[in-house]
Amino acid sequence: MTDRLITYSEAIREAIGQAMEADPSVFMMGEDIGVYGGAFGVSGDLYHRFGAERIRDTPISELGIVGAAVGAALVGMKPIVEIQFSDFTAQAMDQIVNQAAKIHFMLGGELSVPMVLRAPLGSGTGAAAQHSQSLEAWFAHVPGLKVVMPATAQDAKGLLLSAIDDPNPVMVLEHKLLYKTSGPVTEAAIRTPIGKSAVVREGKDAVLVATGVMVSRSLEAAEALAEKGIQVTVIDVRTLSPLDMEPIEQAVAATGRVLLVQEAPKHVGFMAEVSARLAESKSIYSLEAPIKRLCGMDIPIPYAPQLERAVVPQIPNIIDAVVELMQEP
Amino acid sequence: MTDRLITYSEAIREAIGQAMEADPSVFMMGEDIGVYGGAFGVSGDLYHRFGAERIRDTPISELGIVGAAVGAALVGMKPIVEIQFSDFTAQAMDQIVNQAAKIHFMLGGELSVPMVLRAPLGSGTGAAAQHSQSLEAWFAHVPGLKVVMPATAQDAKGLLLSAIDDPNPVMVLEHKLLYKTSGPVTEAAIRTPIGKSAVVREGKDAVLVATGVMVSRSLEAAEALAEKGIQVTVIDVRTLSPLDMEPIEQAVAATGRVLLVQEAPKHVGFMAEVSARLAESKSIYSLEAPIKRLCGMDIPIPYAPQLERAVVPQIPNIIDAVVELMQEP
Amino acid sequence: MSNKITPLVATGNQTLSSNPDAARAALAAMWAVRLFEEAVDSLFARGLMHGTMHLSIGQEASAIGACAALRESDFITSTHRGHGHCIGKGADLTRMMAELLAKQTGYCRGRGGSMHIADAATGNLGANGIVAGGIPIAAGAALAQKLQNKDNVVMCFFGDGATNEGAFHEAVNLAAIWDLPVVFVCENNKYGMSFSTEKSMKVDNVADRASAYGIPGVTVDGNDLDAVYAAAQEAVDRARRGEGPSIVENITYRWKGHSKSDKNLYRTKEEIEQWKNDDPIEQFQDKLESLGTLSRDEMTALAADVRDKIRIAIQEATTAPDSDPAELLASVFRQVNS
Amino acid sequence: MSNKITPLVATGNQTLSSNPDAARAALAAMWAVRLFEEAVDSLFARGLMHGTMHLSIGQEASAIGACAALRESDFITSTHRGHGHCIGKGADLTRMMAELLAKQTGYCRGRGGSMHIADAATGNLGANGIVAGGIPIAAGAALAQKLQNKDNVVMCFFGDGATNEGAFHEAVNLAAIWDLPVVFVCENNKYGMSFSTEKSMKVDNVADRASAYGIPGVTVDGNDLDAVYAAAQEAVDRARRGEGPSIVENITYRWKGHSKSDKNLYRTKEEIEQWKNDDPIEQFQDKLESLGTLSRDEMTALAADVRDKIRIAIQEATTAPDSDPAELLASVFRQVNS
Ligand SMILES: Cc1ncc(C[n+]2csc(CCOP(=O)(O)OP(=O)(O)O)c2C)c(N)n1
Ligand SMILES: Cc1ncc(C[n+]2csc(CCOP(=O)(O)OP(=O)(O)O)c2C)c(N)n1
Ligand SMILES: [Mg+2]
Ligand SMILES: [Mg+2]
């Protein structure tokens, strides 16, 4: 793997650029993705490289844009839609859920919707409750959608390229706090397979399963725990649907202790599914402690920085939760 | 309790009528709820009893209607919105999730949104993928929303009246297949408390936890199982958020075996949360078998009757799953 | 062995009624819609069909007149009341019937039913169970034509009620600002389910809404096949020339209830009767006779021929295999290497 | 101890500039918006404020002229660019500043920030972080007035970009068909973030969209306080008389970037400079002087007085307690017996 370091945003931009060069049917639609360069600067100079037709600025019409992507995808294009904040997918749920996700199956299989929907989720920017949600559980619950959450710059590129290749609608949920973080990213148009979880650190005492920005927080917590003599495995789920449980089950079998970490509110969140899968499989017999979850509180994200920090898991919370977990039962 | 039998629809209509007589601030909005009487006949004659102002027919504008309900609720009204099929809540997600659910908290606590949103969910009517979804997991995951799913005529009345009393937004998810089913319903304006699960049958061998139409299917399965000598407890969750785990944990402690039954697709569905709550509590130590889920397949609901039946749990499936469960480990 | 009616024939700035071939094809198509739906209605009444059903009987001229302006390579998006659009674009009657009868040989392999018939081969991107759901999709398909430098047009069907959905507003605006080759055909049958246009909007015509998007909007007698065709052809030509979208509003009426649950409490028997006297098929036949384009005998023979096709559709569909649950799980996603 | 400017004064069919009290109140309000936002801008620049920020500097006449037409019992819904609306309706400057500084004493107890300031006491139903999110809410609040037989009016503020959202379409249509007492005030500052109105719509003015709903729509110079007030007052009176909603479009311009991330790549320095020469406050002051309504000295004193209020707001807010995490869990729902 390369040791070239670029940011998560740059990796996404590079992926889009490479896909658009390779395939004229790939194009992008979104609000302020053109000369503005995107609300989070992700599309950057793509507008100047590919022009206004293929890097298409749109009015503030999320439902219309996503619907237009569905229609374009039905007749041979490969649209990439950027929704400025994942919170605004609420505006487009009909086209995402009732149209894009169902068309291939419901209409008999001839037509399909090779569409990619990119949206930044997560808190930590002081943007308050309507601009900070983590709604991945909604999409993972919808048959017909694939859902990925890249946690590194490399996967931001690799998962997006796989999503663009995929003949089905794929939701790519990026984390705002990761855009400016850097990591080694392969220059070639590499693919990260959709549907594969990744073991990003190995340890014999317990397993941390995380998504999005919680992956890097779990890794930092793991460092601190190592100093306390607790060796933890960290698994980056990467694809929420279809979900790859195998590495998770193996790690749980090996350690007997697991902590599931997500930023989203706990109640009926994604990690409930990981827990339920473990509890209904033979993994349950190798557990030495309850299956613990460390999640966001069931509270809208507040504006004040100290409040915002208080409602989602921070590194010290992860450390404490693992220490507790080691004391179980 | 009364032995007067009325249908689930009649019970809902009776609740709305009693609430509107008792409180002039209660009114209803929805598509074809007036002279048409509602797509499923629920509003029936209310239009003739209360007139066009308070039983308000609307254009086909789900987002607008729900938003109007939010606005009316902010200034002292108690709107009840009927969404013709719960699938169309997709059109209104912004107002439900980004507005109604967050306003009280996000705006500092002075304002609140005492709104009730009624919507029929579920399959079994041959209406195919866009008219048959069970989306309760979405709403249960949203902080600021309360979510109830009445499984009997009595609760259809009692939970709705509690929802109307509640100063917060409440989603009342009714099941289409239950509208024409009858049960004993108290004539007085009784309340079923929001936030209380109900043990609807007791048995020493295993626990069935169910929602919506799966409650009656579980009870029928329980009858058949009793003949096989298997005594099961059946719990009707009734309120998905806030969730009352106490009776569930007690029953699991007593029997050691549990099957969670839902119509919605399995992946990241509501029952994953029930499973995760059991697995992270002391209940896990009293388990004699894995925590099993019997759910809808992760497939859009198909039109053909035999296909439609095949993708959601039927009584024989429940019976088989319990028999299997008894053989674990 | 396909079971289709002969394709519709466009006549440019001539009327359909003045051209024997075009008139024959259009009349056959209208009969096909009428007879297909009458058959479906009775199958339903006899409990041989399940689900629900939205019939367009009385609206045949709107669907057929509009589709007559399209090329084979053009696309349509349709609605819950879509049998007419489907037939107008050239669908196979047996496969349509098979879908409604939940058969493996149906257009959706029995997964969609009446509300979801699609036919990639004839450019039918699908009926839609979501009111206004197809409008943004049509705009997107039209955007694709532009990006692919093709001169195909997308015809987007929807009802009067659909124009109150946000999806209509956003999609028509997108089509307008990007000059997309789409024709928005509003089939204004006076009601969205039970809610009349007098109540659902403060303007007289849906076409009055075009001005908000800076595009042309026309209102025509939707039961007059020639009028519908003329308006549609003009809008299609405009779109094909790259001059952007238009709204064509066809004023028509559904004779049957909205769906199976409709007791018609929101409209009077008189109103229904009055509109039945304005039968689009009768009207067109009288015109053809008076113009001498076709004789009564030819027309009778033509109707009988269509009736046979419907009979065949029912026979073939009834004996076809039921759709197969075994294939469901593998059908949710298109396989990555297919 | 409240820290407010004196309430705005309506002048019926007279101009605000012709009435010393009204002129004084309106000028003070415009200065309050300008100086509040300049203060906020520098607090932000100095890293003393977090989150993001949408400033309305340059648009003061739109917010204040419109609010001047309202009674205390009337309501408003506001936007992400809402400081002007908030002040126009009579908000406390210290509590506003405290909210932006994430303090317990802020309007939202530090939970909402700039994008969510609401003030039940002055009928401000809340700013909204969702573009067009407040429009259906305004329609609903207006419906409530009707159902409660009150003669209050709801003024709904939104931007040009918001009119491309389905929420705008659905809500304006509802207000129109039900003749609701709501005034839709579009603050057309030429851009939705970076997307110009020339690109986002094919009509010249947002007011042209009113015809699609059968309601009046007017476009006025949004930097001319008297013009804004006159249009707003007419629409408010109409609404109060039960004659239904209108769209009032104020053509204006934001001097600052859309938000903190804006590099102004989509517009020219010249354009910005040109609009700065059309300063609504300057304009109004010149007019007051030439009319002899107020003297320069009076106006200077008035501005200085507002500046003190802003200084006090910063002082009081800065020393207020930070918002308290302990109360969060109990604050998601209103308690059932409260
Ligand atoms: C988003 C949505 N809302 C409501 C419905 C229920 N519904 C189905 S058809 C219909 C009426 C549609 O009226 P119109 O658009 O005029 O078409 P028509 O039925 O008259 O042909 C309604 C309300 C739906 N399918 N989708
Ligand atoms: C539904 C939604 N889409 C997109 C955004 C991001 N956004 C915030 S403000 C804005 C521009 C709004 O433009 P306009 O309505 O003209 O108001 P202005 O900012 O010019 O005052 C955008 C795109 C949002 N907050 N909500
Ligand atoms: Mg109609
Ligand atoms: Mg603007």
Question: A267-311: per-residue pLDDT in tens?
Answer: 999 999 999 999 999 999 999 999 999 999 999 999 999 999 999
Strand partners, B7: B182
pLDDT for the residue A245:
98
Average pLDDT value for chain B: 97
Average pLDDT in the B284-294 region? 96
Q: How confident is the model at residue A1 (pLDDT cuts 50, 70, 90)?
A: low
Q: Which tokens hold the place of A80?
A: 């990439």
- Cβ–Cβ contact D173 with C under 8 A: yes
pLDDT for the residue C261:
82
Closest partner residue to C136 (CB to CB) among A68, A73, A144 is A68
Catalytic residue check, B131? yes
Q: How far is the CA of A105 from the centre of ligand 3 (A)?
A: 28
> Which residues of chain A make contact with D263, given a CB cutoff of 8 A?
36-37
pLDDT surpassing 50 at residue A254: yes
Render D15-81 in DSSP notation, one character per residue: -GGG-HHHHHHHHHHHHHHHHHHHHHHHHHHTT-S-S-----TT-HHHHHHHHTT--TT-EEE--TT
- Cβ–Cβ contact C176 with D under 8 A: yes
Catalytic residue check, A131? yes
Return the partners of chain A (3 or more C-beta pairs < 8 Å).
B, C, D
Give the length of chain B: 329
Tell me the pLDDT tens digit for each residue of A234-250: 999 999 999 999 999 99
* C-alpha to C-alpha distance for C97 and C99, rounded to whole angstroms: 5
Nearest Cα neighbor of A84 from C172, D194, D255 is D194
Q: How confident is the model at residue C223 (pLDDT cuts 50, 70, 90)?
A: very high
Report the gap between the CA of D120 and the closest CA in chain B (Å).
7
The catalytically annotated residue of B10, B31, B62, B82 is B62
- Cβ–Cβ contact B259 with A under 8 A: no
Average pLDDT in the B98-114 region? 98
Average pLDDT value for chain D: 97
pLDDT surpassing 80 at residue C338: no
| CA A217 to chain CA mean position, Å | 15
Average pLDDT in the A76-100 region? 98
Q: How confident is the model at residue D338 (pLDDT cuts 50, 70, 90)?
A: very low
pLDDT for the residue B188:
97
SS3 assignment for chain B: CCCCEEEHHHHHHHHHHHHHHHCCCEEEEECCCCCCCCCCCCCCCHHHHHHHHHEEECCCCHHHHHHHHHHHHHCCCEEEEECCCHHHHHHHHHHHHHHHHHHHHHCCCCCCCCCEEEEEECCCCCCCCCCCCCCHHHHHCCCCCEEECCCCHHHHHHHHHHHHHCCCCEEEEEEHHHCCCEEECCCCCCCCCCCCCEEEECCCCEEEEECCHHHHHHHHHHHHHHHCCCCEEEEECCEEECCCCHHHHHHHHHHCCEEEEEEEECCCCHHHHHHHHHHHCHHHHHCCCCCEEEEECCCCCCCCHHHHHHHCCCHHHHHHHHHHHHHCC
Pairing of strands B78-82, B26-30: parallel
Cβ-defined contact of B268 to A129 (cutoff 8 Å)? no
Tell me the pLDDT tens digit for each residue of A57-72: 999 999 999 999 999 9
**Interface-testing mutation among D195, D200, D202, with chain C (most C C-beta atoms within 10 A):** D202
Closest partner residue to C200 (CB to CB) among D166, D168, D177 is D177
Q: How confident is the model at residue C337 (pLDDT cuts 50, 70, 90)?
A: low
pLDDT surpassing 50 at residue B116: yes
Is the pLDDT higher at A2 or at B96?
A: B96
- Nearest alpha carbon, ligand 1 atom 17: C159
Average pLDDT in the C74-84 region? 98
D183, HSE (Cβ side, Cα atoms, 13 Å): 31
Report the gap between the CA of A176 and the closest CA in chain D (Å).
13
Nearest Cα neighbor of A303 from A179, A169, A124, A178 is A124
Cβ-defined contact of C334 to A168 (cutoff 8 Å)? yes
Among A35-39, B2-6, B262-266, D241-245, the minimum mean pLDDT is found in B2-6
pLDDT surpassing 80 at residue A2: no
Average pLDDT value for chain C: 97
pTM of full prediction above 0.95: yes
Is the pLDDT higher at B328 or at D39?
A: D39
Q: How far is the CA of B40 from the centre of ligand 3 (A)?
A: 19
* C-alpha to C-alpha distance for C127 and C158, rounded to whole angstroms: 10
- Cβ–Cβ contact C149 with A under 8 A: no
- Cβ–Cβ contact D198 with A under 8 A: no
pLDDT surpassing 50 at residue C328: yes
pLDDT for the residue C336:
82
Pairing of strands D191-192, B78-82: unpaired
Residue A88 in contact with ligand 2 by CB distance below 6 A: yes
> Which residues of chain D make contact with C169, given a CB cutoff of 8 A?
164, 166, 168-170
ipTM over 0.85: yes
Tell me the pLDDT tens digit for each residue of D189-212: 999 999 999 999 999 999 999 999
Q: How confident is the model at residue B315 (pLDDT cuts 50, 70, 90)?
A: very high
Cβ-defined contact of B128 to C266 (cutoff 8 Å)? no
pLDDT for the residue C1:
78
pLDDT surpassing 90 at residue B2: no
